Amino acid sequence: MASLFDPPADQPRPGAPLAERLRPRTLAEYVGQQHLVGEGGVLRRYLDAGRLPSLILWGPPGVGKTTLAHLLASQLKLPFVALSAINAGVKDVRDVIQQAKSRRGTLLFIDEIHRFSKSQQDALLGAVEQGIVTLIGATTENPSFEVIPAILSRAQVYVLEPLSKEDLTGLVDRALREDEALRRRPVRVEQYDALLRISGGDARKLLNLLEIVVQSATANPETGEVVITDEVVQQLAQQNLSRYDKGGEMHYDVISAFIKSIRGSDPNAALYYLAVMLEGGEDPKFIARRLLILASEDVGNANPNALLLAQSTFQAVSVIGMPESDIILGQAVVYLATSPKSNASYKAIREARAYVRQHGVAAVPLGLRNAPTKLMKQLNYGDTYQYSHDGAGGFIYQEFMPEGLGQLRFYTPGDNAAEQKIQERLRYWWGDKYGY
């Protein structure tokens, strides 16, 4: 690690990749996130005021989280230190805090803060509370999953948006226009689609891909010009970018294929993609979280035990860690892939929420309202409600829906054995009321 208080470098190191050579040195060069740094943006207002609170920057890879942290420190002329949550331990955090005590307003940037353990975050908390350091954490994951509440309550969370097509094509044009190494060859971009598709909106990956293409493409023998087309990019990308990149586009492609394989009941394909992710260094808790969502969304009440197993998997992976977590994940993947599937509950809650958004909230029937006071009882709150357990089989036919919504149905049981039994019970209880 570099000296803890080195300021951001004004010039990239010799031989640095294009993404580093083209890293913005001022906010004027920064691409995107105008809702934060543009005229009237919240971070711009902080800079104008000359102060900065602790921040969590949440967004996809390659949208400028690290660069923005550097620029904020540079703009405010603050001592700057960067730690990677992958490599830093509690001792590194404590060393930074100790040195920060003798300096004014140290800005501590933690990349991938969602990978910081609870003990590492606890070691940081006091320094953030006391203002010894101003924290900027960067994460591609929802910070509420992994950042402890005590830090979240002391930091402002800002969402960085994916870069637009115009942002990305402008970045390519700027690189070809301004970078000294690329300017040595005449280059013309005829098609951008493959560059943008393969880089997946990641500016860093886009620039590095562009550099590979310019260096590797065959120039026109007559003019010496390199013409970039989708076909050229696709061919060169397959040769150079085949390795799993847990921070780039392939990360999203593989997790997508993984989920779709489980949904499609193919345990062999699912295990293959699981192996790709684990061999590429993917965070096992990220995988376990996705299994939790899938267990409810895609298996649902066709096998209610799936959600319980997925929850146990997440807890076990959190305790065990790698490398043994691969066994636990493998078991869960096979179980979920071979379970019957239903998205009926997933569709039901989505339809119910859409209905409420469109039509608003109807009044709760008087018979279902709580009546803790004498006045409420005089107003007939709860007077018509019948205690369901007093009925045969624990059921009494009565109206629970708001007035006028009695026939509204959101849940349609899936075509599987478990939910067909649910449908039989619903039909027995409700008759023709909901059309079961």
For residue 247, name the pLDDT band (cuts at 50, 70, 90): low
- Angle made by CA atoms 284, 289, 294, in degrees to the nearest 5: 125
Tokens of 382: 């709860």
- Whether the model clears a pTM of 0.95, i.e. scores above it, the answer is no
Tokens of 246: 């847990």
Return the bridge partners of 187, or none: 226
Q: Read off φ and ψ for residue 106, nearest 5 degrees.
A: -60, 130
pLDDT digits (tens, 9 = 90+) for 371-381: 777 777 777 78
CA nearest to 147, candidates 99, 285, 139: 139
Strands 156-159 and 187-189, by their bridges, are: unpaired
For residue 250, name the pLDDT band (cuts at 50, 70, 90): low
Highest mean pLDDT pick, 121-125, 197-201, 246-250, 418-422: 418-422
Report whether 330 contacts 291 (CB < 8 A). no
What's the confidence (pLDDT) of residue 113?
84
Report whether 97 contacts 124 (CB < 8 A). yes
Please give the Cα distance from 169 to 249 (Å, whole number). Answer: 17
Q: In what order do the strands lie in the sheet with 55-58?
A: 80-84, 106-111, 133-139, 55-58, 156-159
What is the number of residues in the chain? 436
Across residues 54-78, what is the average pLDDT?
85
What's the confidence (pLDDT) of residue 215?
79
What the chain holds in terms of domains, given with CATH numbers, is 18-159 (3.40.50.300), 165-240 (1.10.8.60), 249-337 (1.20.272.10), 358-430 (1.10.3710)
What's the confidence (pLDDT) of residue 345?
93
Please give the Cα distance from 124 to 340 (Å, whole number). Answer: 45
pLDDT digits (tens, 9 = 90+) for 263-307: 999 999 899 999 988 887 788 988 999 999 999 999 999 999 999
Across residues 232-237, what is the average pLDDT?
78
Rounded to 10°, the helix 284-294/249-263 angle is 40
Please give the Cα distance from 192 to 201 (Å, whole number). Answer: 12
What's the confidence (pLDDT) of residue 310?
96
Which residues, other chains included, contact 211 with Cβ-Cβ below 8 Å and sequence gap of 6+?
17, 18, 181, 182
What's the confidence (pLDDT) of residue 4?
44
What's the confidence (pLDDT) of residue 338?
94
Tokens of 89: 């331990």
Tokens of 404: 């006028």
